[in-house]
Amino acid sequence: MKSRNYLLKRISWALPILLLGMACSEDDDGVTMAIWEMEVDQLTAATAKYTDENVATNEGFFDASGFVPNMGHHYVLPARIDGTFELENPEIILYAPDANGTMEFVAVEYAVPIEDLDNPGLPPEGFTGDLDEWEINPNLSQWQLHVWIVRENPNGIFASTNPDIAE
Residue pLDDT, tens place only, 40-90: 999 999 999 999 999 999 999 999 999 999 999 999 999 999 999 999 999
pLDDT (0 to 100) of residue 166? 85
**Contact at 8 Å (CB) between 74 and 167?**
no
Per-residue pLDDT for 12 more than 50?
no
Interior CA angle at 108 toward 102 and 112, to 5°?
140
State the pTM of this model: 0.80
Encode pLDDT of 97-110 as tens digits.
999 999 999 999 99
Average pLDDT of the residues in 114-125: 94
Residue 32: its pLDDT value, please? 66
Which of 65, 96, 87, 104 is CA-nearest to residue 145?
87
108: closest CA among 149, 66, 60, 49?
149
Provide the 3-class DSSP secondary structure of residue 124. coil
